[in-house]
């Protein structure tokens, strides 16, 4: 095989992993953003509503789920290579 040819990725691709993890990552982000909103009320700043936290988390979930997909793909590659 020529070195310039690329082999197809083995197993799950990053974007598939990101799509599958999006709902879980967004839910975790919503909880963290809501808790941060509660702490901001203690500091004298406006409190973020649960709906506001969910809306922010839906947007923040896109790059966060992409990074999660990359992380899971890296772990899968390490497991396939036997930590070599």
**CB of 21 closer than 8 Å to CB of 15:** no
**Helix/strand/coil percentages in the chain, nearest 5:** 75, 0, 25
Half-sphere exposure of 63 (CA within 13 A, CB side): 3
Residue 73 is predicted with a pLDDT of 94
Residue 11: band (very low, low, confident or very high) from pLDDT cuts 50, 70, 90? confident
What's the pLDDT band for 13 if we cut at 50, 70, 90? very high
Domain boundaries, the chain: 14-81
**Alpha-carbon gap, residue 58 to 8, rounded angstroms:** 31
Q: Report yes or no: 62 and 19 within 8 Å, Cβ to Cβ.
A: no
How many alpha carbons lie under 13 Å from residue 20 in its C-beta half-sphere? 10
Q: What is the pTM of this model?
A: 0.78
């Amino acid at each position: 095989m020529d070195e310039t040819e690329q082999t197809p990725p083995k197993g799950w691709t990053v974007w598939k992993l990101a799509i599958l993890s999006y709902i879980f990552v967004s839910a975790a982000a919503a909880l963290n953003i809501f808790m941060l909103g509660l702490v901001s009320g203690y500091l004298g700043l406006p409190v973020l509503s649960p709906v506001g936290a969910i809306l922010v988390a839906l947007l923040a979930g896109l790059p966060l789920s992409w990074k999660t997909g990359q992380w899971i793909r890296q772990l899968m590659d390490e497991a396939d290579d036997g930590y070599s």
